[in-house]
Amino acid sequence: MHIETEKCVMILDENLPRGIIANAAAILGITMGKKKPEIVGIDVADREGNQHSGIIQFPVPILKGTAETLKQIRGKLFSKEYADLTVVDFTDLARGCKTYKMFTEKMAVCAEKNLSYLGIAVCGDKKKVNALTGNMPLLR
């Protein structure tokens, strides 16, 4: 990974309640950290020697979109053109499951067209990420 040429963004459905937006962002961030551990920096110490865990080495803009926008972007991310990007999504189906087993079972029989995306995280080539999301506003 080259920090200078890569970018990560999160896109969240701006119409969701704040608590669900926060939960979706947390899930996306944890999962992206698992998929791309090299983006997390080393642990650091403060002046007194107290240890602090490493954090991502570059900013992650949080963008806003609608459910329809998220669906369109996720559709593009399934194409070969964007196959080299790392993508994490969080859906209404996942949110509605009480266990991971339930999630895997329901996802196995659910058509993609029936999913609603609450959030998507994308990481990879800066030019490709910008082509997908460069005109989207920040979530404030």
Which pLDDT does position 40 carry in this prediction?
Answer: 92
Q: Number of folded domains in the chain?
A: 1
Q: What is the mean pLDDT of residues 83-103?
A: 96
What CATH number corresponds to the domain at position 70? Answer: 3.40.1490.10
Segment 12-33, tens digit of pLDDT? 999 999 999 999 999 999 999 9
Q: What is the mean pLDDT of residues 70-96?
A: 96
**Distance (Å, rounded) from C-alpha 71 to C-alpha 117?**
6
- pTM (2 decimals)? 0.91
56 part of a folded domain:
yes
Cβ-defined contacts of 129-136 (< 8 Å, 24+): 129/7, 129/8, 129/9, 129/85, 130/7, 132/73, 132/76, 132/77, 132/82, 133/9, 133/11, 133/63, 133/73, 136/11, 136/63, 136/64, 136/65, 136/69
37 part of a folded domain:
yes
